[in-house]
Amino acid sequence: MLGTLKTPALIIHCREDRIVPFEEGRLLASLIPGAKFLPFPTRTHYFPLDDELTYRMAEEIERFAAQ
């Protein structure tokens, strides 16, 4: 089903995610046509706890949404 999606997709995955392996995020992005994969250098599963990374993530989401 993922291969039939027509909606832009931004897949954000933390490099050292302790719950979902990094390669799963990369695989998900590869299965959605035109998806953008955005790795982040943190160990959290959810949003990063570091303010700088949180702002960077928000900027990337804004940039993607503006396309």
pLDDT, tens digit, for every residue of 30-47?
999 999 999 988 888 777
2-29 pLDDT tens trace:
999 889 999 999 998 989 999 999 999 9
- Domain around 60: 2-65
Instruction: Using the predicted structure, report yes or no on whether residue 49 has a pLDDT greater than 80.
Output: no
Residue 59: predicted pLDDT = 94
CB 45 within 8 A of CB 19: yes
pTM (two decimals) = 0.82
To the nearest 10°, report the CA torsion of 21, 27, 29, 34. Answer: 160
| Total domain count, the chain | 1
Round to whole Å and give the CA distance between 62 and 24. 24
Residue 39: predicted pLDDT = 93
